[in-house]
Structure 1
Amino acid sequence: MSLEMVMDVLRDAFIRTLLISAPVLLVGMIVGLVISIFQATTQIQEQTLSFVPKLIAVLLTLILAGNFMLNILLEFTKYIFRLISSL
């Protein structure tokens, strides 16, 4: 296994990790921003007000984007197995 092949596998793994984590992180950040703006305008400083909606939004995102994430992981796993068998 050459150094270029190892670097390609690591780069591909890093890109796929970003693709898998991006939907959940973006939804969490957007919901957090909206809730913090709401709290700043209404001056409500309740901790559960920011936690519960983010938790619900992240869970819904995982449910909706779970198939997409699983397909990315399965494609990468198949790629790695093909790569191992060709060595």
Structure 2
Amino acid sequence: MEPEVFVDILSDSLFIVIKLVTAIVLPGLMIGLVVAVFQAATSINEQTLSFLPRLIITIVALIYGGHWMTQVLMDFFNQLVLQIPEIAG
């Protein structure tokens, strides 16, 4: 059991978390920017106007990217299970 194995697992898991969160948050940030520019140009200060499009696009990102996200997590879990003999042995 070498500490480098655990550091590699931790770095891989953090990279996967960053990748999955980015796939969810990035579309919402882009829509939020577009809505903010629209609100600034038209002087509309309605709170729901900025919240609702971000909510909808986040849900759409989860619907369309959910299969890919689940596959990434399953692949990582399978990789961890296959590494058990290396870690324990």
Identity %: 36
Partner Cα distance (2:72, 2:85) in 1? 20
1:48 is the counterpart of 2:67: no
1:24 is the counterpart of 2:31: no
Aligned positions of 1:5-24 closer than 5 A: 5-24=5-24
The two structures have a TM-score, normalised by structure 2, of 0.93
- Following TM superposition, where does structure 1 have runs of at least 4 consecutive aligned residues deviating by more than 2 angstroms? none
Listed as ranges, the gaps of 5+ residues in structure 2 are none
Cα offset for 1:85? 3.8
Encode CA deviations 1:19-44: one digit per residue, 9 max, x unaligned: 11111111011011000000000000
Q: Which one has more relative contact order, counting CA pairs under 8 Å at least 6 apart?
A: 2
Cα offset for 1:82? 1.2
3-state SS of the aligned residue for 1:45? coil
Listed as ranges, the gaps of 5+ residues in structure 1 are none
RMSD of the TM alignment (CA)? 0.9
